[in-house]
Structure formats: C-alpha cells, structure tokens
A and B are shown apart, each in its own frame.
Chain A
Amino acid sequence: MKHHVLALCSALALMTPTLGVAQDRYVHANNSAYDTLDPHTVRDVARVASRLNFYDGLYRWVDNPPQLIPWLATDHSVSEDGLTWTFNLRDDVTFHDGTKMTAEDVVYSFERMLELKRGAGSLFLPMIDPGQTVAVDDTTVAFTLKEPSAIFAALVPDILVVNSTLVKENEVDGDWGQAYMIDHVAGSGSYMLQRYDPARGFIGERFADHFAGWGEKYFDEIEFRTVLETNTRIQGLMRGDYQGLDGYLAPDQVERLRADEDVQIMEEESMRVFHIAMHNGRAPLDDKNFRMAMVHAFDYDGYINEIMQGTVARNPTIMPGNLWGAPDVPGYDYDLEKAQEYLDAYKAEHGDDIRTIKIGTLAGFSETEQAAALMQNGLSQLGIEVEIESSPWPVISSAMQNPDTMPDMVPYWKSTYYVDPNNWVGELYASRYAPTRNVSDYHNDAVDEKLEQALIITDQDARAQLYADATTQIYEDAAGIWIYNTKWFGPYASNVKNVRFCPVGNGQDMRWAYLEE
C-alpha cells in the first residue's frame, strides 16, 4: 500500500515538475531568439545564455571587474618564443552523457571552430592555422600560434569544448555535426538540455555531476524564453511570469521596474561604450577641423541626463573608463560656438558648401535613433543637414564593413567580447582591423605602431601605457564621438539571489544563482 502511495506521488511529481516543492526554477525572458544551440557558430551577447550554461571553456570569465578563473584547464604555460601555449586539463570532467573529457575533445572543438569560420572561430583564424593544436596526452593540449599574441589568453574562455565522440557520431557528409548541433547539446556545462524549440527558447536541467560541484542552493531548472517585445518582457517580470530579463534596458523601463516591489534591479559598472563612429576616410569628415566641429555638436549632457536619465556615466574616449589603459582626459563638451569656430576654419579651407551628412541607426534600438536625432538637431543649428536612415543591425553592420557603404556616422555600442583594451581601441581604430571592425577608416601610423606592439608584448604596465597613448592620439584626432559607458541594470524578481554579473556574460551564467525563500 505504502508503495502505491509513493508511486502515485512520484507520478504526480513527474507530471507537474513545475509545482514540485524542491524544484527551483528560473525563467528568463530574452530579447532575441535562440535559433541555434551550436556554441561555435555564433558569438553574440543576445544568445550567450546557451553557450554559458550548456558548455564550458578552458577558462571562464567571472565577476566584475572581470577575472579569468581556471575552468576546464587548471593552468597554462607559454614557450620562450611566445608561440606555443600549453594547457593542463582537469581529469575529472564528464560530458552530460557520462563520457570523460580528454585533450582530444579540446583539439576537435578548436579545429571545428577554425573550420566553421564563424563565431569565435573567425577571431582565432588570423592567429593560428588549422592543424596546429595537438593533444600532448589525455590532459595536456598545446596550441602553436603564428606570432606571439597578448590577447590569446583573453580569448581562451571562448574555446568551448564539445563532446567529440557524440558530435562525430552525428556528422553528416563531413559537416562537423553542424546539422546536429543546431538543436542538440554535446557539452559538459552546468545545465543539460531538456527541451528546445527555436520559436520559444530552451529549458536546461541541472547537471548534478558537473566537475565544479554545486553550492548549497541552486536552480534545478532554467528556462530561457524568447520574448521579442521589450514592453512584454517588463510586464511579464512585474506579473511574475519571468524571474529575470536581459540587463540593458532603457532608463524609462528601469524606472518603472524600480517602482515594483517584487522586482529588484542589480546595478553594475559595465564595459559597453556607446559612441558614434565617424567615417574618417570620406570628405568632409576626413578633415580634423570638421570632426572637431562634430564632437562639439552633440548634446552629451542632454543625452545622458534626460534621455538616459543619468543612469550612465560619460566616457570621454573609446576605452571604458573602468578598464586599465584608459587615458585620463576630459570629454569633449557640447559647445556650438566652439563647433562653429571649427566649422568656420573648415570652410575657410574647403569652401562653404557642405553636403548632407548621413547617419545610420539600428532599427529597434531607440537609443541609437534618439542619439541620431540629437546629432541632427545640433548640426541643423550649424546649418548642416542630416539624413537619418534606420536599418536592422545585420544590414547596417554589413554596410559598415565596407568603406564605400559605411554611412558618415553610426551610433552603436561596443560590447565586451573579451576584457582587453584591444577589444575596444584596437579593434575599432587599428589599421589591421580595417575595414571589418575598424569601420571608421581611421589610419594613423603612430597609433598603429603602438597598437601592434601592444598585441605582442605581455607586460601589462607597458601595454597599458601603449593603449593610453594610442587612445589619447585618437581622442585628439576626434576620430569618433564617444558618449557613455553603459551601466548594467539587471532586472530580477526580488527573491533571486547571487547573480554573478560579469560584463562578458551579462549575468546569464546561472550556475551561481538561487531563490531565497
């Protein structure tokens, strides 16, 4: 009889897993779709949750300011010539299906990334050739680079290791398991895939045998759901449908959420610089006087205090103020008289005719539209006409990567992909990254020399100095309009605790968080 009751209870528990007492569940509403689970083909902030929670990297970014902690690898050493990087791996890591992880899995994963050329793979390709990664033994893996690199270490967390046995079993026509990995997980991460629907999101179930172990409290189940509409996400959080949202909300939304008792807003310094990229290679913006007029024609205070309601801090250069290597310079101010002086100087040299300036904005990101509108407003007072064209991110992003199609100005954010000054000043203004990431068509030999050197030497103080000098030069050239460094306002239900925010993962690494009763 007793057995029957037990059986019945467990049957009921199975049928209604969400109502079970011991089951703590977290539902996150995300602003874009999880249309693929393959960790190697995408590398964007919007879909970071599946990579962080289903997969592990050799190292891992945690906390703020971000730190690299050993993860699948325990430590590493670099050869004298700076070319060979050898990582020692843990011997107690198992994948979700129970297979033990070995160095072979790391080699397979890395070759897969290089072969697919997408996501983080394209970042490694210029540094290392296929076939240059070897498994020295089961727990040792060595990478041989083409040239010494100061940023390789910062990219190691992106080497997400897949279960090579499982993926190989599911390869079709040498596709490196791409068809399979779109909707399956072959990882060792903190959560195992339970359900997935590209139209809806995914549910992860806690992987109890994860090598890193678990704290006393944790979420048994996490669900990341796609809710495209900002307003719906906010209403849903206030109604208790969701326990958390992505953190970069417009200040109006943050204000509304603050007013709600059941919602807490976690506030963190972040490293996401909002700036207006300018096309330095096209007249009239190729002239320094004209650019100086531009940087003085944007109402920084109005934007930060009114539109952003003071929720962000002014950032004078492209480098986030809270990162090493950021120079100490005052930000340009909104001063139309000064702008007019520079403009007059420009006109004295090039004549009075100034063509219409074209600003491209990101459809659906109102901050970029509002920044463009504000710029338009400032320039119209200088007698310069502005045309704004709003396009979806993929369209504008591909236009930006070609100097012929890059609009004169584009307001957008530079997010943290890895925590190194190269992520900001290097990628955006070094000639080696033109035109794909250096979209400004900015070329300065002195700056290039410093940025190149900083990629090779490893002494951080020396690198910091190089970056500070390069950034100052770019600042003096007024190569862009740098506006603010974002703060992260993580909206969560009040009873969600211990969200470990890191600018790289935006607080979506769920293994540390739990519910407080």
Chain B
Amino acid sequence: MTALKRLLADRAATIGAALILGLILVAIFAPVLAPYPEDVTAFHLTERLQPPSADHLFGTDRMGSDVFSRILFGARITITIAVIAVGVSVGIGVPIGLIAGYYGGFPGGFLMRTSDIFLAVPQIVLAIAIAQTLGPSVENVILALSLTYWPFWARLVYAETKSLKAQTFVEAALALGASDWRVMVLHILPNTASAIIVRTSIGMGATILTAAALGFLGLGAPPPTPEWGRTISEAREFLPEAWWYAAAPGLAIFLVVMGFNLLGDGLRDILDPKLRKGSR
C-alpha cells in the first residue's frame, strides 16, 4: 500500500501510469470509443486522404478509413505484442538467470554465454533476421521479440541471484533442509521481484519501439491491420500533403512508450533504492 502511495506521490510515475491505463482502456473499449469501428476493415474509397475535421479527428487514410478509429484499434495490437513478447521473455529469462546464478559452475556459465550471444548483436538486428525468415505476421513479430529480449532478464536475475545466494538467509534456509527449488522459488525469486518489475516496465517501451520498427520495415502485420508502425510506412507515400496520416500513429507510439518509461523510472525510485542514485 505504501508503495502505491509513493508511486502516486511521484508526478512522473503517475503520468506514466495514467498513460498506460489509458492504453489499456482504449484497447479494451476500442469498439465503443471509435467513431467508426467498422473502418478497421471497411473502406470509403470516395473519402480518401481527407484532412482532420470534426467528422474525422485525425483525417482519413489511403482507403478512406478513419485514422482515429484505426489508431484506437491499433492499441490492441500494440498491447498484445508487447505483453506476450515481454511475458515470454520474462518466462524464459527469469528461470535461466535463476538457475545459472544459483548453481553457477559450468551449466551457469554455459547459460550466461548463450545469453551473451544474443546480446552480441543489437536486438533489432536479430529480430529483423528472425522476422524476415519466418515471414511477416504479428505472431512472428512476437516470436522474434521474445527470442531476442529474454537475455536482458536472464542477466538481471543472474546477477541478483548470485549476490543473494551468498546471504545468510539463504544459507539458513538450506541449513534447515529446504530443497534447492524451494530456496530458489520461495526465497530468492521474491527478492529479485522489484528489479524484474522495473526492468519489465522499461522493457515494454523498448519492445513496442522495436515492434513498430519491424512493422515499418514491412515485417509486421499484413494490411489492412491497423498496426501503428505499418501505418506510418503506409503514410510515407502521401507526405507531406497527408501529414496527419503519419503524425497520428507516431504520437500514439510516443505516448505509450513514454508511459512505460515514466512508470519504470518511478518504480525504480520506489522499489529499488539501490538503483536510486541519489535522485532526491
């Protein structure tokens, strides 16, 4: 409870949380909020590329569909990609980090070297290679991002686990006859949770940016999916005249990533005093 209070006391984190809450609400209620929910698949060819007006808040696109409605539906895709990709990354990365950090030795070293290989290339480069190979679709973008982002969590948990393992409470638990599993899951994992949460919030932002870049490069969802990155690349042909067409999805990405970054910063200050670095 105090954590929540402190979070709300931090203006930046509050704004971040509000932005994310907004994203989630928009994603859930897109069909209700969108003025033209049918425009995700329906076209009005006679109304192509109209500038913003009262009817069309963000104008219309190359098929005459309402850009604003499509942006709202795009939130669903963005949130799906980010949540699953980050979820899978955490699901792979955390156990690997935990096991590697706890047992150390050859298996630990091997696992960490494997994660080093994935960290040896910028994430987007690997994601491009994977997504390119598998073919453009939302599922493949998720797969590509999951396969490239897990080492971040593995590294983090590895380092935490290694230092925690040397602490007395772990030794005590072991002396009382707790199994390795029990110690890992019940004693070490909870103590790494705050670091994982902070990393996850910031990771969401990074994942969304990479997913959008893949969409922009044509490796993401096929048309007429209202994915934001793809919309920006579609809009490119019509610049500078149809400025709204690219501006709207760009701003949407910006707000959402900003939300996760602000929240991540706020959470770090609250949950992880070690990392606070004297910000106050």
On whether A and B touch (CB less than 8 Å), the answer reads yes
Binary flags per residue of A222-266, CB closer than 8 Å to B gives 1, else 0: 000000011100000000000000000010110010000000000
Asked whether A130 is an interface residue with its Cβ less than 8 Å from the other chain, the reply is no
Contact in complex: A388, B223 (CB < 8 Å) = yes
For B238, the closest partner residue in chain A by CB is A252
- Complex Cα distance, B241 from A383, in Å, reads 37
Selected contact of B237 from candidates A252, A389, A390, A392, CB within 8 Å: A252
- Complex Cα distance, B229 from A50, in Å, reads 35
For B135, the closest partner residue in chain A by CB is A391
Contact in complex: A389, B224 (CB < 8 Å) = no
Asked whether B123 is an interface residue with its Cβ less than 8 Å from the other chain, the reply is no
For A253, the closest partner residue in chain B by CB is B237
Asked whether A134 is an interface residue with its Cβ less than 8 Å from the other chain, the reply is no
- Complex Cα distance, B239 from A461, in Å, reads 49
A307 contact set on B, CB distance < 8 A: 45, 48, 62-63
A303 contact set on B, CB distance < 8 A: 45
B222 contact set on A, CB distance < 8 A: 361, 369, 388-390
Asked whether B17 is an interface residue with its Cβ less than 8 Å from the other chain, the reply is no
Most buried by B among A306, A389, A390, A395: A390
A390 contact set on B, CB distance < 8 A: 136, 218, 222-223
Asked whether A465 is an interface residue with its Cβ less than 8 Å from the other chain, the reply is no
Contact in complex: B237, A250 (CB < 8 Å) = yes
Contact in complex: B43, A373 (CB < 8 Å) = yes
Asked whether B236 is an interface residue with its Cβ less than 8 Å from the other chain, the reply is yes
For B48, the closest partner residue in chain A by CB is A306
Most buried by A among B42, B45, B49, B62: B45
Contact in complex: B49, A361 (CB < 8 Å) = no
- Total A-B contacts with CB atoms under 8 angstroms apart: 68
Asked whether A364 is an interface residue with its Cβ less than 8 Å from the other chain, the reply is yes
Contact in complex: A370, B63 (CB < 8 Å) = yes
A395 contact set on B, CB distance < 8 A: 135
Binary flags per residue of A388-405, CB closer than 8 Å to B gives 1, else 0: 111110010000000000
Asked whether B46 is an interface residue with its Cβ less than 8 Å from the other chain, the reply is yes
Binary flags per residue of B260-272, CB closer than 8 Å to A gives 1, else 0: 0000000000000
Contact in complex: B218, A369 (CB < 8 Å) = no
Contact in complex: A363, B136 (CB < 8 Å) = yes
**With A231-B237, A306-B48 as contacts: A392 and B41 at CB distance below 8 Å:** no
Do most interface residues of chain A lie in helix, strand or loop, or is the interface mixed? helix
Contact in complex: A370, B62 (CB < 8 Å) = yes
For A256, the closest partner residue in chain B by CB is B241
Binary flags per residue of A165-178, CB closer than 8 Å to B gives 1, else 0: 00000000000000
Chain B interface residue count, Cβ-Cβ cutoff 8 angstroms: 23
Contact in complex: A389, B49 (CB < 8 Å) = no
A364 contact set on B, CB distance < 8 A: 218
A373 contact set on B, CB distance < 8 A: 41, 43, 63, 223-224
Contact in complex: A366, B237 (CB < 8 Å) = yes
Selected contact of B218 from candidates A376, A377, A388, A392, CB within 8 Å: A392
For B234, the closest partner residue in chain A by CB is A366
**With A231-B236, A231-B237 as contacts: A389 and B135 at CB distance below 8 Å:** yes
Contact in complex: B46, A306 (CB < 8 Å) = yes
B194 contact set on A, CB distance < 8 A: none
Contact in complex: B49, A252 (CB < 8 Å) = yes
Do most interface residues of chain B lie in helix, strand or loop, or is the interface mixed? loop
Within 8 A of A (CB), among B39-56: 41-43, 45-46, 48-49
Asked whether A380 is an interface residue with its Cβ less than 8 Å from the other chain, the reply is yes
Asked whether B137 is an interface residue with its Cβ less than 8 Å from the other chain, the reply is yes
- Complex Cα distance, B45 from A206, in Å, reads 47
Chain A proximity of B188: nearest CB distance (Å): 44
Chain A proximity of B134: nearest CB distance (Å): 11
- Complex Cα distance, B179 from A294, in Å, reads 65
Within 8 A of A (CB), among B54-96: 62-64
B224 contact set on A, CB distance < 8 A: 369, 373, 376, 388
- Complex Cα distance, B41 from A377, in Å, reads 7
Within 8 A of A (CB), among B202-218: 218
Chain B proximity of A31: nearest CB distance (Å): 12
**With A363-B136, A389-B136 as contacts: A302 and B45 at CB distance below 8 Å:** yes
Contact in complex: A380, B41 (CB < 8 Å) = yes
B234 contact set on A, CB distance < 8 A: 366
B137 contact set on A, CB distance < 8 A: 389
- Complex Cα distance, B65 from A373, in Å, reads 12
A253 contact set on B, CB distance < 8 A: 237
For A392, the closest partner residue in chain B by CB is B218
Binary flags per residue of B135-163, CB closer than 8 Å to A gives 1, else 0: 11100000000000000000000000000
- Complex Cα distance, B136 from A230, in Å, reads 22
Asked whether A372 is an interface residue with its Cβ less than 8 Å from the other chain, the reply is yes
Chain B proximity of A256: nearest CB distance (Å): 7
Contact in complex: B218, A363 (CB < 8 Å) = yes
- Complex Cα distance, B135 from A500, in Å, reads 40
- Complex Cα distance, B239 from A278, in Å, reads 34
- Complex Cα distance, B234 from A366, in Å, reads 8
Asked whether A515 is an interface residue with its Cβ less than 8 Å from the other chain, the reply is no
Within 8 A of B (CB), among A96-118: none
Chain A proximity of B92: nearest CB distance (Å): 27
Chain B proximity of A305: nearest CB distance (Å): 8
- Complex Cα distance, B224 from A203, in Å, reads 40
Contact in complex: A306, B45 (CB < 8 Å) = yes
Asked whether A374 is an interface residue with its Cβ less than 8 Å from the other chain, the reply is yes
Contact in complex: B43, A377 (CB < 8 Å) = yes
Chain B proximity of A34: nearest CB distance (Å): 22
Chain B proximity of A240: nearest CB distance (Å): 17
B241 contact set on A, CB distance < 8 A: 256
Chain A proximity of B275: nearest CB distance (Å): 42
A366 contact set on B, CB distance < 8 A: 62, 234, 237
B62 contact set on A, CB distance < 8 A: 252, 307, 366, 370
Contact in complex: B237, A230 (CB < 8 Å) = yes
B63 contact set on A, CB distance < 8 A: 307, 370, 373
Contact in complex: A229, B236 (CB < 8 Å) = yes
Chain B proximity of A506: nearest CB distance (Å): 20
B43 contact set on A, CB distance < 8 A: 302, 373-374, 377
A372 contact set on B, CB distance < 8 A: 223
Chain B proximity of A285: nearest CB distance (Å): 20
For A249, the closest partner residue in chain B by CB is B237
- Complex Cα distance, B236 from A369, in Å, reads 15
**With A376-B224, A377-B41, A390-B218 as contacts: A231 and B239 at CB distance below 8 Å:** yes
- Complex Cα distance, B239 from A364, in Å, reads 16
- Complex Cα distance, B102 from A409, in Å, reads 54
A363 contact set on B, CB distance < 8 A: 136, 218
- Complex Cα distance, B238 from A253, in Å, reads 8
Chain B proximity of A46: nearest CB distance (Å): 17
Would you give 6 A-B contacts (Cβ < 8 Å), ordered by A? A230-B236, A252-B62, A256-B241, A374-B43, A377-B42, A390-B136
Q: List 5 A-B pairs, minimum CB-CB distance, nearest first.
A: A306-B45, A390-B222, A369-B223, A363-B218, A373-B224
Beyond the given pairs A306-B64, A370-B223, 7 more chain A to chain B contacts, judged by CB atoms under 8 angstroms and listed by A's residue number, are A230-B237, A231-B237, A252-B62, A370-B62, A377-B42, A390-B136, A390-B223
Interface, chain B (partner A; CB < 8 A): 41-43, 45-46, 48-49, 62-64, 135-137, 218, 222-224, 234, 236-239, 241
